[in-house]
Chains A and B, each alone.
Chain A
Amino acid sequence: MKPGVNRSEAFLIAKEPYYEPLGDEVLLFESAYRNRIPVLLKGPTGCGKTRFMEHMAWRLKRPLITVSCHDDLTASDLVGRYLITAGETVWVDGPLAQAVRNGSICYLDEVVEARKDTTVVIHPLADDRRILAIEKTGEVIHAPAEFALAMSYNPGYQSVLKDLKQSTRQRFVALEFGYPNSALEQRIVERESGVDPETAGKLVKFAAMTRNLKGSGLEEGASTRLLVHAAKLMVSGVSPVAACRGAVAQALSDDSEMLAAINELSASLF
């Protein structure tokens, strides 16, 4: 693949990603999209934020470019940089610049993890200017109507450093995601893993038990994603208790007392 080549087709989502709406988030996102307002997804890990983005990209028939932010992610990682080939320098768009050019949806996952200098490029894109200024080439890209910016953020991790600045957050329409109610969560687990309804129901109960423990030794209860993992293990023949131990308990904690208690909880259900 040649650098800088438009490859947005690769990011188009052909098949409908399975998504169960929790409320009116689909409508809200669509309206925000039509009004060219960026969207902020808030919610605990594993509750379906990324899946929602895939679903929306499919609905809106736009390519989805996802950037998982980490603490070493700089503005150049988003915008682009020069590469050197034999004899010349070549500018290569970063994922954000690419998304702006192609009118894709750019999704910055866990945006608080990124370095602070990234806000410099996000801000002009996230208000009504909708421009991306590429400092190194002097280019200014005006985002087409199809472009959308979305980012996710987990407010649960209470840390001063991991907080989103007001100047950033107040540019976005915010959608809050939580864990789905038990009936819905059961359906999701069934659908995603192919497990029988009874087992799915027990898994959802188990998740509720671990969520009761939040704040007293557990940072976070079991997410829907963990339940799907456990269910998948069960479908491929792992015993329920072993599946819960591997996919849920060990994923939640390293504390031996906590692990013992969580394992007892799963054993009492299965």
Chain B
Amino acid sequence: MRPGPWEPMSATEALSADAIEEWLDEELDAALSLRRSSRPAAEALAALTREQQDFARHWIGVIAKTNPEFAFRFASRAAEGLRRMGPEDAEAWIVQAMDVYDKMGLYPAVAALADVETFAAAREGRARSAALADVGPVLEIFLQGLAGRRLKIEAAEQAYTDTATIFLPARLDVLGNREDNVRLYKLTVVHLWAQTWFGTFSGHEPQRLTTRCAQFPDPAYACRLFHALETMRLDACLARELPGLHREIRAMRQPQAISTAWAAWRSRLESPEARVDDSYAAQQALYGEELPDPHPYQGILDAAAVASVLAQRVEQERLAFQGALQKLLQEKNREPAAQHAPTRFAKPDDDAGRQEPSLLLDGQPLALPPDVRTLAESIVQDLGEIPDEYLVPAGDGGYAPNQEKRPEDVWKGTYHEEGAYLYNEWDHRRKHYRKDWCVLRELDVHPSDSDFVAQTLQKYGGLAARLRKTFEALRGENAVQRRQNQGDDIDFDALIEGFADLRSGRELPTGLFLRGRRVARNIAVMFMVDMSGSTKGWINDAERESLVLLCEALEILGDRYAIYGFSGITRKRCEIYRIKTFAEPYNDEVKARLAGIKPQDYTRMGVAIRHLSRLLNDVQARTKLLITLSDGKPDDYDGYRGEYGIEDTRQALLEAKRDGVHAFCITIDTDARDYLPHMYGAANYVQIDDVRKLPLKITDIYRHLTG
């Protein structure tokens, strides 16, 4: 901070234009000339409060140190900026312009300063509004906790649901502050969920709303009328089921001024017995009445979207359910399609029982596999029960829907799956796995006969020796610990000495036991090496060198380890390259394969993680580590990139974690901070700035991870 020489900055009286001009002349000397004076800027700044003036002077001083011309431009704009924005936003405005200056130079930076108005408006909106991208993940978990079919959340112009997905605006800027806008998101989600849960749309008649509204002269109005009535009914349902949430709803909505005709219907709709039929009856009765103002959280009704999604799902689920029943029958080794219907459905006893539909098979309760149960729940949610005709298992020819759903292109063409592994892939948009989506093969790395390993060891000679020492210290020994205070057996050496002590009048020492020290290191580690095309050059060299040093260290340590490379192109050709399996010793062949690691194609990480954690899980070890060496984001040719790739990788890592595999990532991608914490967790990755340091760092990292 540089206050003027003539008075301290802390004074409260605003400075005059003359005083400012004098100060500016001194500060911006290099940028001024005969034809260019600081007078206009000084006059504009003189109109501000003293606090604002000091703020402007501080920043003019800061910028002048970087570039006086830029500071002069800022001085001319400062007054306008400060009039529009508070100090915090103004600071953001200045900082972003300076960032532009650092990256792109003076003129773009001046341009960035110039558009004060847009910047101020955007800042204001951002502070106040809530973005779906921020709240979406929490809302999704929240929604799944509520009950019923899993609903996806997607961005759209308007808020509505088609009974499979809840659509929400990407940004909400309806209410005065961010907190309220976030709450509005939540209430909207719950309201739309209530439509699917409290029976606004029935699977028996997917077209009902469309047909009913079409009977009226003004279908659009009729639909809005029905929506207003359903909102009343659903709000009452929510008040009963989720009282805490209902308090928030009440706080959010304006009191609706309604006529006496409405009031009578409202009390009927708010009773616990009210069903969607009552709303339709009310629609008939109140047609023509003025509509109350819509609540901010109610969204809109899209009858057409509901009708098509609902009709399609009902049909699909009927086929899938009958198919599943047939499979259950086959598993039980019974004759399919016996003459009498072999299964009877036990109806849920109460409303909450909708979550637990059960089936009887030949009078015996049948434990439904999780996927069939989810299916049954979804059917009950749409139809209120599992209709009798659903209980007839599909015939032999009927169990086709699953095959039909499989994208044909996986299976056609010259490629065939013999000897390949099939893996599911997570589609974050659908919130479901794509079944058997990836076709993965294990291949051998073509060994190279160069003496790469020897060269590397020579190159890092000093380091290799040091590594040997540190890792020797880490090595666990399967030894018996002597002279312990407690243990499984008596340490007779200690005991004899102790008795001698005792006889000679001294105290009996305490450590008289032997204790079998448990094997300290029981670790299996899998290295998953990125062999994508982008690793070509330095990165590939660094990866190979790192692996050589690691192997040396791990041999000392005695940890079981395996090294696999991964790459591939499209989901039909995912490739895993064997470099060293767990069973193989570190021999010349492995060394030749290490040398032979070559960049291949793309980075489809999810399937590689799934395959390698499966291999890792076949190993008996107390600690299982999956360490990925990578140079960038998941990326493949067929759309496996961006959010899709990241979410699938994250899902694969979650699966690995569930199976007790600890995943860790070592990356040289400088953007890693943007996505790796989301995938691996904040503490489970290391980003290395300089690829050449990888060999030096990697053994250190390993020591920290497992020490």
User: Which residues in A have some Cβ–Cβ distance to B below 8 Å?
Assistant: 72, 74, 76, 81-82, 84, 86-87, 89, 115, 136, 158-162, 182, 208-210, 212-213, 216-217, 219, 241, 257-258, 260-262, 264-270
CA distance A108 to B140 in the complex (A): 40
Q: Contacts A158-B658, A212-B144 known; A270 to B244 CB distance under 8 Å?
A: yes
CA distance A217 to B659 in the complex (A): 13
Most buried by A among B137, B139, B498, B512: B137
From residue B648, how far is it (CB to closest CB) to chain A in Å? 14
Residues of B near A209 (CB, < 8 A) are 145-147
Interface residue tally for chain B (C-beta within 8 Å): 40
Residues of B near A87 (CB, < 8 A) are 499, 502
B214 contacts A by Cβ under 8 Å: no
Is A216 within 8 A of B490, CB to CB?
no
B190 contacts A by Cβ under 8 Å: yes
From residue B377, how far is it (CB to closest CB) to chain A in Å? 11
Is A213 within 8 A of B145, CB to CB?
yes
Query: Smallest CB-CB separation from A261: which chain B residue?
Result: B141
Is B245 within 8 A of A159, CB to CB?
no
Residues of B near A216 (CB, < 8 A) are 141, 144
Residues of A near B622 (CB, < 8 A) are 161
Is A269 within 8 A of B244, CB to CB?
yes
Is B138 within 8 A of A260, CB to CB?
yes
Residues of B near A161 (CB, < 8 A) are 620-622, 660
CA distance A260 to B135 in the complex (A): 10
Which residue of B141, B147, B244 contacts A267 across the interface (Cβ within 8 Å)?
A: B244
Query: Smallest CB-CB separation from B619: which chain A residue?
Result: A160
Query: Smallest CB-CB separation from A209: which chain B residue?
Result: B145
Is A257 within 8 A of B137, CB to CB?
yes
Most buried by B among A87, A213, A268: A268
Residues of B near A74 (CB, < 8 A) are 488, 516
Is A257 within 8 A of B138, CB to CB?
yes
B495 contacts A by Cβ under 8 Å: yes
Query: Do most interface residues of chain B lie in helix, strand or loop, or is the interface mixed?
Result: helix
Residues of B near A262 (CB, < 8 A) are 141, 145
Beyond known contacts A182-B352, A262-B141, A265-B142: 20 more, CB 8 A cutoff: A76-B488, A81-B487, A81-B489, A84-B490, A159-B659, A209-B145, A212-B144, A217-B654, A219-B658, A258-B141, A260-B138, A261-B138, A261-B145, A264-B138, A264-B186, A265-B146, A267-B244, A267-B245, A268-B190, A268-B242
Residues of B near A158 (CB, < 8 A) are 658-660
From residue B679, how far is it (CB to closest CB) to chain A in Å? 13
Most buried by A among B137, B243, B244, B245: B244
From residue B31, how far is it (CB to closest CB) to chain A in Å? 48
CB-contacts of B512-566 with A (<8 A): 512, 516, 518
Residues of A near B140 (CB, < 8 A) are 261
CA distance A72 to B520 in the complex (A): 12
Residues of B near A270 (CB, < 8 A) are 243-244
CA distance A115 to B621 in the complex (A): 13
From residue B241, how far is it (CB to closest CB) to chain A in Å? 8
Is B508 within 8 A of A84, CB to CB?
yes
CA distance A89 to B352 in the complex (A): 64
B355 contacts A by Cβ under 8 Å: yes
B617 contacts A by Cβ under 8 Å: yes
Query: Smallest CB-CB separation from B148: which chain A residue?
Result: A212
Residue interface mask B474-512, A partner, CB < 8 A = 1: 000000000000011110000100110010000010001
